[in-house]
Amino acid sequence: MTEPRKATGGPMDDEFWRRAEEKADAGLDPSRLRRRVGRPTLGEEAAGLTAGRLPPEIRRALDKRARSTSARARSSAAR
């Protein structure tokens, strides 16, 4: 198994873990948090994920649409 590497490609040596431990012990500064960019909301509140059952003919049509577009997945084609 290969050694774990940092995102920069450097090794995760003892110095890396010492600094990581110091940062963790210092705690989280909420002022440094930023909102992550993602899918926009569908309304005032966060939308819930809902699984649904599709009849075979609709599922086949959805699969055909996914193959004919760049969506490649049912969920993307359904949007």
pLDDT of amino acid 50: 67
Residue 6 neighbours by CB under 8 Å, 6+ apart: 12, 16
Is residue 18 a contact partner of residue 9, using CB atoms and an 8 Å limit?
A: no
pLDDT of amino acid 2: 78
How far apart, in whole angstroms, are the C-alpha atoms of residue 22 and residue 72? 44
Please give the angle made by the CA atoms of 72, 47 and 59, to the nearest 5 degrees.
35
- CA 7 from centroid of its chain's CA atoms: 17
Is residue 77 a contact partner of residue 69, using CB atoms and an 8 Å limit?
A: yes
Query: Is the pTM here over 0.75, yes or no?
Result: no
Express each pLDDT in 32-75 by its tens digit.
888 778 777 777 776 666 678 888 898 888 888 888 887 677 77
pLDDT greater than 70 at residue 1: no
pLDDT of amino acid 8: 87
